[in-house]
Structure 1
């Protein structure tokens, strides 16, 4: 297949998306379809089309080009003239704030990249997002009677049950048809995928399930598809214990039960997909964030959820960078976590004097860098390829300490996003330079 033809198919795909939205809008006017149903119809149509991408294109680059074009279109559709009265209303007619349209496009590109040609790792996560999520939303809106509260609204037990059942069936079908997994493991993996997916969907907010659900399922499957049934049972036990621990600590840390469940999902995913030494620093971020919010609250509506979203998006970003550049990014990911922890600690001291802020934040940075150095020693050689990281560490800590010490008030809004971006600057540049030089 020629490059010109693949480019033409990519642009035709955008036309198909816009045509689908126009069709849904027309049906909504004729049949009085609710905004939620309109959004889910577009969601299902987009997801089903995304399932064809590995077979629609001969190369990988047109898929990423299509994702980029889709993100551009989604941004345009968010403009007031398009979101109210235009075809963008099919996505943005619901009252709650959601980034689901943008996150769906990002999820397709991320899963396509990370799956690396494995049909199961691409099809099952995207099919779950497409079909199970729609089943949950439509079941909950029509038949929901028992509800539980999350930060930006409520979900129904009936909707979550529908999600679990659809995901369980999808998982078993895909595992049987697209893998050589043993029959006992098909049952265990199917149940774990369904349970994990149901928790992510039930505890989602602002459409983040459109990203975290497929990417989380993909990474989990990639790491544990070949695990023994004993190892899978051990993972189940670990998840239950982690959930019990976070729920017990939640009141002491000043976080809601919903946030505690989200922390559990994030912690479980980190622990289950990488070596223990690489989970210590990102998990420490959650603890320091809770402390910072109690001593110097930020003005975000859902600060505990925002930090999970920031860490998760950054984690997948580093993972994707490592695959594209073919150079493991764990050393830089660890330094980002150090910088983020130092930044949060500095913000927690926002009401202290400048000298105390600088001294305390610097002391913590030195201590965390020492911990980082010890933890990284347990990684294999392909992780430690960057070599001496002291200069990068000094720059990360210095930049963050300076920012939070002299401008602590700048982090009272969008705290998680600002600090994560700040902590990413030096490791990102250093990683890029290291890749180029190697």
Structure 2
């Protein structure tokens, strides 16, 4: 990867264009009395459209990473009012959101991973640019059938618009940019439209700007070259999986939105890795639900906190694996088994604490079995039994000793502990290959 003087000039122009666009939208919004949602979505369309030109402007990911590394602090500066009232264009809508930051992260991740297949970048960014904007504007102006979601409400009309715009955009992009068979294009477009619409509904606080393009990218990368039978089977598996999760949600009194989001997360993991690699993330979610029932934490959004932290840790391992061009699936699994044990320690009280040692042994055995099953393609960063035991010991010591420390920001603290051992093993493996 390289950075040329031309790249530097383009980066400078784009960084100047962002506040210029916001200023223009602000002045036009004041002149014509636009709804704050309209102004916000115009900025969204402008930045998304600009991002769609990156494959033409830049020949490698480094300039894009540099640009976004500079753009994110600029966005925070605008949010804090450093550049006057420009932040009001984005943040006049009465809901807490970091959508512009999440969109920048999504652009960086998809551009870095798309490599020599521009369709894997263009289609996800086009979906979040067009479909999200159309759904928000139609839902705001014409939505009548509304339903509650985390952080507000959405409309059935907006969801329908999101589905059809995504379906149409996917068909057009696949026809123009892929060599897939016509039937495959239709099936992939339907799968993407349905999946992305569901992700958009179940995202919160602007996270659709991250989860929709990343989810679209992962599905497209997995199924672009698949046959119709594989696509149909995957769709059937997801629907069955979703139905099962919703039934369990009813039994566990879990919010339907959180249950669907859990199903989406696990299905995406399943789309990337083999079935046995979903076992440990599933155990982490189950242990969280047990801990939440036995020892509730002081968070109104405990399930969504877990989803956010689990998704970000998954993306972190994906990024590390891509950057190092080595499989980190063993460290990914070690993180989730550590989190599962940490949550379980909070759920075990009284005489049930006698299960700590057998639970530790079973968890370590599961991690080693999954790691062994992933061979030979996952030899990188493969931990031995002692390393697994030490990493899990770090993950469970504090939850077992001071469970009250996890009554706030539980998921963040549990995953932070669970990441210590895997990150150490990763750093050691990179320094001492």
TM class, shorter-length: over 0.9
Contact 1:362 1:401 in 2 (8 A): no
Contact 1:82 1:89 in 2 (8 A): no
1:297 is paired with a residue whose SS is coil
Contact 1:254 1:290 in 2 (8 A): no
Match of 1:374 in 2: 369
**Per-residue CA distance 1:258-312 (angstroms, 9 max, x = gap):** 1111111112212222101111101211111111111111222221122122111
- Ranges of 4+ aligned residues in structure 1 off by more than 6 Å: none
Match of 1:69 in 2: 70
Match of 1:430 in 2: 425
Counterparts of residues 36-435 of structure 1 (less than 5 Å) = 36-79=37-80, 81-82=81-82, 86-349=85-348, 352=349, 360-435=355-430
**Per-residue CA distance 1:154-199 (angstroms, 9 max, x = gap):** 1101101111111011101111111111011111111000000110
Cα distance in 1 for partners of 2:357, 2:70 equals 43
**Further displaced range: 96-105 or 128-137:** 96-105
1:279 is paired with a residue whose SS is helix
- Paired residues, what number? 432
Contact 1:339 1:365 in 2 (8 A): no
Q: Taking structure 2 as the reference length, what is the TM-score of the superposition?
A: 0.96
Query: Structure 2 vs 1, CA of residues 96 and 362 (structure 1 numbering), >3 Å: closer, same or farther?
Result: farther
Contact 2:261 2:307 in 1 (8 A): yes
Contact 2:151 2:204 in 1 (8 A): yes
Task: Tell me the C-alpha RMSD between the 2 structures.
Answer: 1.8
Cα distance in 1 for partners of 2:382, 2:303 equals 34
**Per-residue CA distance 1:3-32 (angstroms, 9 max, x = gap):** 222123212211111111111111222122
Cα distance in 1 for partners of 2:196, 2:32 equals 32
**Per-residue CA distance 1:368-408 (angstroms, 9 max, x = gap):** 11011112222131212334432331222111222212332
Contact 1:24 1:90 in 2 (8 A): yes
Q: Taking structure 1 as the reference length, what is the TM-score of the superposition?
A: 0.94
Cα distance in 2 for partners of 1:247, 1:112 equals 34
2:154 is paired with a residue whose SS is strand
Cα deviation for residue 77 of structure 1 reads: 2.5
Cα deviation for residue 2 of structure 1 reads: 6.5
Cα distance in 2 for partners of 1:38, 1:329 equals 42
Unmatched runs of 5 consecutive residues or more in structure 2: none
Unmatched runs of 5 consecutive residues or more in structure 1: none
1:154 is paired with a residue whose SS is strand
Contact 2:291 2:344 in 1 (8 A): yes
Cα distance in 1 for partners of 2:27, 2:417 equals 45
2:264 is paired with a residue whose SS is helix
Cα deviation for residue 360 of structure 1 reads: 4.0
Cα distance in 1 for partners of 2:276, 2:36 equals 46
1:377 is paired with a residue whose SS is helix
2:270 is paired with a residue whose SS is helix
Asked whether 1:15 is paired with 2:16, we answer yes
1:145 is paired with a residue whose SS is coil
Cα distance in 2 for partners of 1:43, 1:99 equals 12
Match of 1:5 in 2: 6
Cα deviation for residue 75 of structure 1 reads: 2.1
